[in-house]
Amino acid sequence: MFNNQFFTDPTALNQAIDDLLEKINDASDIEEQTKMVELLTKLYKLKEIDLKLTLQDAELHHKEKTAHAEQLLKEEEIRMKKQEQAVDSELKELDIETRKREMKIPFGIKPETVVLVTANLIGIALVLNHEKLNVMTSKAFGLVTKLKN
Q: What is the CA radius of gyration of the chain?
A: 51
Chain segment 23-50, per-residue pLDDT in tens: 888 888 888 888 889 999 999 998 899 8
Cα 56 off chain centre by: 34
| Residues 140, 125 contacting (CB under 8 angstroms) | no
Look at residue 147 in the predicted model and tell me its pLDDT: 54
Look at residue 104 in the predicted model and tell me its pLDDT: 64
Look at residue 5 in the predicted model and tell me its pLDDT: 46
Which secondary-structure segment (H or E) carries 37?
helix 30-103
Chain segment 63-101, per-residue pLDDT in tens: 999 999 999 999 999 999 999 999 999 999 999 888 877
Q: Where are the domains of the chain?
A: 10-76, 111-143
Chain segment 96-110, per-residue pLDDT in tens: 888 877 766 566 677
Look at residue 28 in the predicted model and tell me its pLDDT: 82
Look at residue 62 in the predicted model and tell me its pLDDT: 93
Residue 122 identity (one-letter amino acid):
I
For the beta carbon of residue 41, count every other beta carbon within 10 angstroms.
10
Cβ contacts of 134 within 8 Å, gap of 6 or more: none
Nearest Cα neighbor of 3 from 15, 21, 18, 16 is 16
Average pLDDT score over the chain: 82
